[in-house]
Amino acid sequence: MEQERKKFTARTDLAIEAREMAKEKSRREEEPDGVEVETIAREQYDLTRVRIRNEAGSRTMGKPVGSYITIESQSLKENDIFSHEAIIKGLAEELRELAGLKEGDTVLIAGLGNWNITPDALGPKVVSKVLVTRHLEGTLPEEILRTVRPVAAVSPGVMGITGIETGEIVKGIVEKMQPSLLIAVDALAARRTGRINAAIQLSDTGLAPGAGVGNKRKLLSRETLGIPVIAIGVPTVVDAATLVNDTMDRMLEEMTNHAEKNTVFYEMLRSMEGEEKYELIRELLDPYAENMFVTPKEVDAVIDRLSGVIASAVNLAVHPGLTMEEIQQFQA
């Protein structure tokens, strides 16, 4: 048990980073067994589709079998309207294909997270900008109803506020409402600081509320809810221990490259991994080694913009007759 406790594992919720870590561990150029990857470079963003096809791939990646789609762009951090519009359209297209909705299907959107903590407020902020229409059935002209889909949205909060598991709240709503699809939006954690607020991940495997900060709750998935679940997440924090570990890795690599080979110092640098690094990280971060997360100082403005991008993409994907211009007018 003591030996297992000392094994350091970098924390990430992103499939593209899990894939990078798997390749680093195996030191092979080819993709891990049971994993397929497609990367497309577009003018405004990079698109990566990771498909975990079997249990072997799932074990290697540490993630359930399914599809993971990631859009990456540094412009997500900035107030770049032109780039954001292209990202919204690309995200809506991927979401539409992943959802496979039929005419008349009802969609429930759950904005997970704590609205009182900015890096964790992405889900609730998205819900506040989503076009909800389920309550309008029977009150609008037929020609208008044909352009929208029955959509409901909820921000269930977190157990520290409500005293209720998020999974319990969502399951109760699903059982009563019986939607065709759940779209769950939550904040994630990344391994690389460059991906903080600069990536959006879609997956059809569900999610565990609070996973980004290590507070895993009941899984929201097809198995637990009985309906398809699409998860949308943005890495808004990096685990401090992971950040220190990766910084140490880069420093050790650089020092090893410049050290004289076959010296005591060179061999010490090459052998410093595993338990030694874990213990050093614990000493550096004590007493917060397991509970410290880092986020950029401009996170308030960035989360506002990101929530607008995701809400616009969701609106565009689920409402068949709405245009980008009409959605932007609604959110104005």
Paired sense of beta strands 181-190 and 229-239, if any:
parallel
Q: Which is higher by pLDDT, 262 or 22?
A: 22
Residue carrying structure tokens 């009563």: 176
The pairing of strands 151-154 and 181-190 is unpaired
User: What is the per-residue pLDDT across 273-327, written as a single tens digit (0 to 9) for each?
Assistant: 655 666 677 677 777 656 678 888 899 999 999 999 999 999 999 998 888 887 7
Read off the pLDDT of residues 184-208 as tens digits, 9 standing for 90 and up: 999 999 988 889 999 999 999 998 7
Run of H or E residues at 250? helix 240-258
Q: What integer pLDDT is reported at residue 266 of this predicted model?
A: 59
3-state secondary structure of 153: strand
Which of 7-16, 46-55, 80-89, 257-266 is least confident?
A: 257-266
The sign one gets for the Cα dihedral 278, 279, 285, 288 is positive
Q: Model pTM?
A: 0.85
Retrieve residue 9's tokens: 């594992």
- What was the pLDDT predicted at 4? 43
Q: What is the mean pLDDT of residues 67-79?
A: 95
Dump pLDDT digits (tens) for 97-138: 999 999 889 999 999 999 898 899 999 999 999 999 998 876
Strands 151-154 and 107-111 turn out to be: parallel
Write out the CATH class of domain 2-242+290-331: alpha beta
The strand pair at 66-72 and 107-111 is best described as unpaired
pLDDT for 104: 86
Tracing tokens 């157990």 back to the chain, one arrives at 159
What angle in degrees, to the nearest 10, is found between the helix axes of 275-285 and 240-258? 120
Domain boundaries, the chain: 2-242+290-331
SS3 312: helix
Residue 148 tokens, joined: 């929208």
